[in-house]
Amino acid sequence: MTSAATLDLDTLDFTKSGGLVTVVTQDASSGAVLMVAHADREALERTLERGEMHYRSRTRGLWHKGGTSGNVQRVVSLTADCDADAVLARVIPAGPACHNGTHSCFRDEALSADVFSALDATIASRMQSAATTTATTTAAPAPASYTQRLLADRNLRLKKLGEEAVELATACVDGDVERATEETADLLYHALVALRAAGGSLEAVRAVLAARARPTVS
């Protein structure tokens, strides 16, 4: 994947749409499609310079997403399509993408990509929330969520991880497909919590799997 810092604007075809390319903006954490807009060379140059998305509107002209509202989109990567007339922008949004106040301009939740990304993002949010609460409050803490309890207690999360693995193995031995499916979901959740607590992320796991999936040259 071409990173935002190395995207060569000279390889894009701005001629097909009167100086514009189509930009599909995607939440880098959840995979949700946030919006579709357009950008010209100047907008993409600003994006590369500042690390936040800029677009070109036929009515508004050049605009910095979130420049007024604060709902900026920090760029993770920019990737051109095979025809070089569209760009996939993977971003970390600071707020809603839609002017209606929703996370995405699309209503179909199927566009919110895979549930594992959403789960990993929720776990990361719970970790951040717990850290912020600990750092800023002197009052008695509110009851922690189950995820926060796991994140705070190394022995508990490793115990649960082991228990879920054993329960999955037992269900598979018994040939109980329904229970094995449920135990797999439980194991994946506890594995992601343990991974986050160790400083890892689902994105890193994806990178490892992608590298393993590449054909090797003998």
In this prediction, residues 62-81 reach a mean pLDDT of 94
Residue 119 has pLDDT above 50, yes or no: yes
Name the average pLDDT for the chain.
Answer: 87
In this prediction, residues 115-131 reach a mean pLDDT of 82
pLDDT at 47: 96
The CATH architecture assigned to 4-112 reads Roll (3.10)
Output the CATH code of domain 115-213: 1.10.287.1080
Model confidence, pTM:
0.61
Buried b (16+ CB within 10 A) or exposed e, 85-104: bbbbbbbebeebbeeeeeeb
Most confident segment among 79-83, 94-98, 101-105 = 79-83
In this prediction, residues 98-115 reach a mean pLDDT of 74
Domain ranges for the chain: 4-112, 115-213
pLDDT in tens, 155-179: 999 999 999 999 999 999 999 999 9
Task: Please give the radius of gyration of the chain, using alpha carbons only, rounded to the nearest integer.
Answer: 21
Residue 134 has pLDDT above 60, yes or no: no
Residue 109 has pLDDT above 60, yes or no: no
- Confidence label for 3 from pLDDT (cuts 50, 70 and 90): very low
